[in-house]
Amino acid sequence: MSEEQAETMEQEAAPEVKPTSINDLKPKMKLKGTVSRLELYGAFIDLGIGPSALIHISQLGKEHVNRVADVLSVGEEVSVWVDKIDPQREQIMVTMVAPLDVEWGELDKGQVYTGTVKRLENFGAFIDIGAEREGLVHISELSHNYVKHPSEVLTVGDEVQVQVLGFSKRKRRIDLSIKNLLEKPESQASEATPAEVYEFEEEVDEDMPTAMEFALRQAMGDSIPMRQKGGKKKKKQRHNKNREQQEDILNRTLQVQHNG
C-alpha cells in the first residue's frame, strides 16, 4: 500500500468533527439536528450546542411550502446547513436547501475549479462547477488544437479542470476555459496565429497594367499611354474600385465604336 493510499484511508476513517458551541459554526457547514418546535413561519432545530437554530418556511425545500407541518414534525431528525450566525445574539439560521459550492460573490477571474461536463453543443460545452448556473467553455477554449465539435475532446460526465475567464451575475453567465490550463504545444509557439495572419491586407502594384487596361488601350487605338513607373502601392479594395471604373469606360467605348 502506498503512502498516499494510507493517508486517504486515515482521512476517511477519521471521525467527523462536530461543533460544540456557536463559535464553531461556519456558513455552509452541514449538521444534524432534531426538530424541537414548529411555528407558522418556520421551525426550531436543536443542534446540541445550546441555542436552537431557526429554519424559515422558505428554506424547507426548493418547492413552495404552505405549512411547516407538511414537511416537519416535532422530534424528527433532519439534516441542515448553516446559513447565518450571530454569536453575540446567539442566533443561528439554517436551511434544508443545499447551498451552492460556488456563490456569485466567490467567483473571480483566473480561479480554477474542477467541474463535471453536463452538456455538449456545437458551440461548446457546459460545465457544472457547483455554481447557480453551469459555466460555458466555448469551443475555441477547449484545446490549443482545432476542434470541430466538443465531442472530439469531451464526454458528458467527464471531470475537468476549468479556469474562469469572466462572469456576469446579471446575465447569469460564467465563461470558462480548459485551454488556459493546458500546456501549449511547442510546434505552435513559433507559428503565427490566425489573428496575426488576418491582420495583413493584400497590396497590389499600380505600375503593373492589368488585362483590362490592355483591352482598353486596344479599343482606344493605343491612344492611352502606359503608366509611368514610381506609382504608390494601393490596397486591394482600391484596386477593385479602379477595375470597376476601367470596365465601365471600356464598355462605353466599345458601345460608341459599335454604333459608329
Q: Any idea what DSSP says for residue 154?
A: -
- Residue pLDDT, tens place only, 157-194: 999 999 999 999 999 999 999 999 998 887 665 554 44
- Distance in angstroms (rounded) separating the CA atoms of residues 113 and 13: 26
- Across the range 29-54, mean pLDDT stands at 94
**Conformational region of residue 8, where left means phi above 0, alpha means psi within -120 to 50, and beta covers everything else:** alpha
Mean pLDDT of 229-242: 53
Q: What is the mean pLDDT of residues 84-111?
A: 93
Q: Which residues make beta-bridge pairs with 38? A: 43
Q: With a cut of 90, say whether residue 93 has pLDDT above it.
A: yes
Q: Was domain 18-95 assigned CATH 2.40.50.140?
A: yes
Helix (H, G, I), strand (E, B) or coil at 77: strand
pLDDT surpassing 50 at residue 136: yes
Number of H helices, E strands in the chain: 5, 12
Using CA atoms, how far residue 31 sits from 14, 15, 142, 170, 202, in Å, is: 17, 14, 39, 32, 68
Q: What is the pLDDT averaged over residues 75-88?
A: 94
Compute the Cα dihedral for 191, 194, 199, 203 and give only its sign: positive
Whole-number pLDDT of residue 8: 45
Read off the C-alpha cell for 122: 456545437
Residue 75 · residue 34 · CB < 8 Å: yes
H-type helices in 14-106, by residue range? none
Question: Which residues are CB-neighbours of 144 under 8 A, at least 6 positions away?
Answer: 179, 182, 184, 185, 188
Cβ burial, residue 17 (10 Å; 0-12/13-18/19+) = exposed
Mean pLDDT of the chain: 78
Report yes or no: 118 and 156 within 8 Å, Cβ to Cβ: yes
**Statement: residue 223 has pLDDT above 80:** no
pLDDT band at 214 (very low <50, low <70, confident <90, very high): low
* DSSP-assigned letter for residue 174: E
Q: Are the C-beta atoms of residues 55 and 80 closer than 8 Å to each other?
A: yes
Task: Produce one character per residue of 74-87: b if its CB has 16 or more CB atoms within 10 Å, e if not.
Answer: eeeebebbbbebee
For residue 148, the 8-state DSSP code is S
| Residue 245 confidence (pLDDT) | 62
Asked if 44 and 72 touch (Cβ cutoff 8 Å), the reply is no
Q: Between these two residues, 224 and 188, which has the higher pLDDT value?
A: 188
All residues at 6 or more sequence positions from 32 whose CB lies less than 8 Å from its CB, including other chains: 77, 78, 79, 80
Q: Which fold does the domain 104-181 belong to in CATH?
A: OB fold (Dihydrolipoamide Acetyltransferase, E2P) (2.40.50)
